[in-house]
Amino acid sequence: MDITFYFLEELCKPLERALEEWSALLRTHALPSVRNPKQTCSSIAVTAALFKLKGKPLKALEAYQLAIGLSRQLADAHGCASYLCQSTSLLLDMGTPELALAQLEQAELCLASVKTADGPSSLSMLVILLKAQYCYSTGQVDRGVPHLCEVLKEVNKQRQSKSWYLLRARMLQTCSSYLSLDTAALPQAQRSPITQHGLNSPDAALYESLKLLCSLLVALVGKGLYGSNGSSSDMHFIDHGDNLVLKWQLLSELLNCSMKVVAVRSSCGAVNDARLQCLEALKLAIKLQALSQYVHMVEG
């Protein structure tokens, strides 16, 4: 076995042991005897995000299913819907849209019981964005564009929160996917509602997403992790609970977006730009010990 992959497998062993223990603990339908079940749910979600970052989507999916089950036992509809959305996204990335749709429909049912007084939430908009991604992956572009435009309209209302910024970054990547289609698949009449927001090319949309993710990461954990050698910011990062889940989800999104930028720039002949972005992705992968993701990018 290649020593790099042996090293990566060794890094994953503690995560796999934790997942096995949680699986055994949650095998029965009774609420587990733990100090803080909600914190346990967050810890499982962090494990799922780490598995995704390490390039182990099946393990990530297994962890999210545990988090979904536990959040249901806790009657946490919002948390359950959030984990179902993460599971949906993973299944779409794995090329299994019908399984993804089943998870997405469950997320919608969970959100139906969540009352919101201030208009649509970022999570409800994520569900709609995932519908657009599902339509894209199944070739139903004409059905997907209205979903995408609905999300575009909402995220442009300048809501100031981490969840909305992350949603915008994800939405920009979805816009890039749609804009990469030729005019036969995405006629001008359907392309215009997307480009009227200033997103004129797949690369432009991806680059905006990448910049937003970098800014969000700096705001969350400091300056020294991506694209900067500066010291950490003055703000104190609360490294537990939902913040910790968000951090690893954000880092996974950032690495994934970097890989997409490399692919798009390589395909359009911008080799030097692709190499520079590839180098930034390599630096991030090394810091995150996620070299398997980088290797897949280089081989692709």
pLDDT, one tens digit per residue, over 145-162 is 999 999 999 998 867 788
* 84 lies in the same domain as 129: no
Nearest Cα to 88, choosing from 103, 78, 98? 103
* 97 lies in the same domain as 120: no
Q: Token pair for residue 276?
A: 């520079």
**Cα separation, 60 vs 70, whole angstroms:** 15
* 87 lies in the same domain as 156: no
* 62 lies in the same domain as 22: yes
**Cα separation, 39 vs 273, whole angstroms:** 42
pLDDT band at 248 (very low <50, low <70, confident <90, very high): confident
Q: Does pLDDT of 19 surpass 50? A: yes
Domain closes at, from 200, 219, 243: 200
* 103 lies in the same domain as 125: no
What's the whole-model pTM score? 0.84
Q: Does pLDDT of 203 surpass 60? A: yes
pLDDT of res. 92: 98
Domain closes at, from 60, 82, 107: 107
* 10 lies in the same domain as 103: yes
pLDDT of res. 100: 98
* 163 lies in the same domain as 246: no
What string of DSSP letters covers the chain?
--HHHHHHHHHHHHHHHHHHHHHHHTSSSSPP--S-HHHHHHHHHHHHHHHHHTT-HHHHHHHHHHHHHHHHHTT-HHHHHHHHHHHHHHHHHTT-HHHHHHHHHHHHHHHHT---SSS--HHHHHHHHHHHHHHHHTT-HHHHHHHHHHHHHHHTT---SHHHHHHHHHHHHHHHHHHTS-TTTS-HHHHHHHHTTT--SHHHHHHHHHHHHHHHHHHHH-SSSSS--PPPPSSPP--SHHHHHHHHHHHHHHHHHHHHHHHHHHHTT-HHHHHHHHHHHHHHHHHHT-HHHHHHHHH-
> Which residues are CB-contacts of 124 (< 8 A; sequence separation ≥ 6)?
111, 116
* 195 lies in the same domain as 213: no
**Cα separation, 127 vs 104, whole angstroms:** 7
pLDDT band at 299 (very low <50, low <70, confident <90, very high): very low
pLDDT of res. 24: 87
* 86 lies in the same domain as 6: yes
Check which CATH number belongs to the domain holding 14 and give it: 1.25.40
Q: Does pLDDT of 88 surpass 70? A: yes
* 257 lies in the same domain as 218: yes
The count of structural domains within the chain is 3
* 70 lies in the same domain as 8: yes
Give residue 3's domain range.
1-107
Domain closes at, from 55, 79, 107: 107
* 260 lies in the same domain as 211: yes
Q: Token pair for residue 47?
A: 């494990």
Q: What is the mean pLDDT of residues 221-239?
A: 50
